[in-house]
Amino acid sequence: MISVPPGYVAQTTSTLAACLARVPHLAERLGGKPDAWHIEEVGDGNLNLVFKVYGPRGAMAVKQALPYVRLVGESWPLPLSRAHYEHTALSEQAKHTGRLTPEIYHYDDKLALIAMELLEPHIIMRHGMIAGIEYPRFAGDISTFMARTLFFTSDLALAADRKKAMIGAFSGNTALCKITEDLIFTDPYRIADLNRWTKPFLDAYAARWREDDDLKLAASRLKLKFMSSAEALLHGDLHTGSVMLTTQDTRVIDPEFAFMGPMGFDVGAMVANFLLNYFSQDGHEDQAGARNSYRAWILQTLVQIWNDFAEKFLALWRGHATGDAYPSSLFQGELGAIRLEAERRAYMSRLWTDTLGFAAAKMIRRILGLAHNIDLEKITNERVRATCEARALTLARDMMVNPGGYPDIAAVAAAARSMRAWTPEFS
């Protein structure tokens, strides 16, 4: 039996009502008597319990951390403290992005439980993209979320003491960082018990990826950056499963992997998930070409996400440079302003290179590592799935070892389009 701190009890649909009833403002929000509340467990993520709770007056979502990795079971213990980091990150993100995060109603540290706004009729974005739904607001919303959370928690906006306090506040989230360090940057490139891939089609790919020194060096360089560059507060797991939305409203959820890390890691996660979904569409269309216009939307949105993000981030830097980095007193006059603007452009270019590398690492891990994406997993014809995956793997490898070939996001979109025309040998 896994040990848990005193007071912690993993909730079930039978126990949760009594637990919520002990918090007067939650009971008030739900209305009526606890035995009239309808509760469902709906968690389909890798780590936690998630409940939907409906009362006569109102409703809420309740997320509770389990003391182990749900995907694997009790053999992989995981600290409950991740609920604390998630709650702290949600509060910080809400300060900068307002309604792009769910409203928090209550946090219980002992139970590692967060009660929050129930997002309905929102769905998990990954499911919407598998169904071929276009989200016209998404690029604007996610670029705002990333630009504002990353800028306002960086040295460009914060005084040095506040930035270091923030590093301290998130420095204990080591177990979640270790998952990323192992599952994204290490395991896909070695023989690891939990690795899996579409067999037998991708056997040769998995072997080649493990033997590729250029790739392993690039992945290790990214890992070092992830471990050592405390640039800003990251969401830490910003994929399309961490977004709930409708065509009119976007919310970013689940920042339990939050820590102070390199900005490109968050932006790269979004890029990776768009590319994976793009390649998966061949497995979701009922006849060849049926998803052509959706594929075009994916790539056009991908391009807009980076371009809008870069523009918004630069605008924040020009208008709100309240941090201790780049003191304005050093860049006075017309020439100073010109040099500083050139420096901003160079910064964005480095951030683009990081984004490209992290995106590639995140694509590879979802195909050769433990935790896969339903975008690809849902494709039941394994040869078709492996074809989509081989294309994604091949593009990702090139993005990681040959970043100079991708000067901008449009080049990535163009390469994805060409890669789709390539047929792997087993197909």
47/299 with CB nearer ligand SR1: 47
The residues near 322 (Cβ < 8 Å, ≥ 6 apart) are: 157, 158, 159
Both tokens assigned to 165: 């306090």
- Stretch binding Mg ion (CB under 5 A), from 157-165, 191-199, 203-211, 249-257: 249-257
Among ligand SR1, Mg ion, none, what binds residue 410 when CB lies within 5 to 8 Å by partner kind?
A: none
Q: Lay out the site mask for Mg ion across 21-50 (x = CB under 5 A, - = otherwise).
A: ------------------------x-----
CB of 45 to ligand SR1, least distance (A): 6
CB of 47 to ligand SR1, least distance (A): 6
69/298 with CB nearer ligand SR1: 69
CB of 183 to ligand SR1, least distance (A): 5
CB of 198 to ligand SR1, least distance (A): 18
**Contact status: 86 vs Mg ion (CB under 5 A):** no
Both tokens assigned to 160: 């040095």
108/256 with CB nearer ligand SR1: 256
Among Mg ion, ligand SR1, none, what binds residue 69 when CB lies within 5 to 8 Å by partner kind?
A: ligand SR1
Residue 30's alpha-carbon distances to 62, 168, 257, in angstroms, are 13, 37, 30
Among ligand SR1, Mg ion, none, what binds residue 179 when CB lies within 5 to 8 Å by partner kind?
A: ligand SR1
CB of 388 to ligand SR1, least distance (A): 20
**Contact status: 389 vs Mg ion (CB under 5 A):** no
Nearest-CB residue for Mg ion: 254
CB of 330 to Mg ion, least distance (A): 41
215/269 with CB nearer ligand SR1: 269
The residues of the shown chain that bind ligand SR1, judged by CB under 6 A, are: 46-47, 69, 71, 179-180, 183, 237, 371
CB of 371 to ligand SR1, least distance (A): 4
86/92 with CB nearer Mg ion: 86
Q: Name residues contacting Mg ion, limited to 110-169 (CB under 5 A).
A: none
CB of 19 to ligand SR1, least distance (A): 25
What is the spatial distance between Cα 181 and Cα 198, in angstroms, rounded to a whole number? 23
Both tokens assigned to 79: 């600290």
Both tokens assigned to 302: 């991908």
179/400 with CB nearer ligand SR1: 179
71/337 with CB nearer Mg ion: 71
Binds Mg ion (CB under 5 A): choice among 108, 141, 187, 254: 254
User: Which residues bind to Mg ion, rule: CB under 5 A?
Assistant: 45, 254
